[in-house]
Structure 1
Amino acid sequence: MSFVEVGPDEPIEKALKRFKKECQKAGILAETRRREFFEKPCICKRRKIEASRRKARRRQMKVQQKLERY
């Protein structure tokens, strides 16, 4: 859980903005969206495999672009 201490003369809007930023960094909102509904293990595994494929494809494209520069 993210905590933000509010100063005595600090506007609440500024503190709220810092709190939202902390929550974003911690990934709290993304985690709650992911856990909102039950996901079968096979679907979870499939999602992870697809994510790793996308990551590998992106990595390969970056390497390819670096090689084209030379």
Structure 2
Amino acid sequence: MVHVLVRDNNVDQALRALKKKMQREGIFREMKLRRNYEKPSEKRAREKAEAVRRSRKMLRKRMDREGF
């Protein structure tokens, strides 16, 4: 559960905080994925592509840190 406190009746600030928390937890991404049915083969392909993307990103960061 995501909780946000509304201080001084400032709903706009609370809404921004809620959106930020939902973004961090990946709720928006999950809602987008669940909007339509995804075949198991498509899910495997998507997850594999995401893993490749993550590993390349980490490799790029490591290379930048080491000075290559």
TM-score (norm 1): 0.69
Q: Deviations over 1:4-59 (max 9, x none)?
A: 1212x242111111111111122111110011111010111111222222333334
- Structure 1: which 5+ residue stretches go unaligned? none
What letter corresponds to residue 22 of structure 2 in structure 1? C
1:43 corresponding residue in structure 2: 42
Instruction: Mark the CA change 1:62 to 1:11 in structure 2 (over 3 Å): closer, same or farther.
Output: closer
Instruction: Mark the CA change 1:67 to 1:34 in structure 2 (over 3 Å): closer, same or farther.
Output: same
What letter corresponds to residue 25 of structure 2 in structure 1? A
TM-score (norm 2): 0.71
Q: What does 1:1-70 align with in structure 2 at a 5 Å threshold?
A: 1-7=1-7, 9-63=8-62, 66=66, 68=68
Shift of 1:64: 5.0
- Taking only aligned residues, the RMSD between alpha carbons, in angstroms, comes to 2.1
Q: Which has the higher contact order (CA 8 A, sep 6+)?
A: 1
Give the number of the structure whose alpha-carbon radius of gyration is greater.
Answer: 1
- Structure 2: which 5+ residue stretches go unaligned? none
State the percentage of identical aligned residues. 30
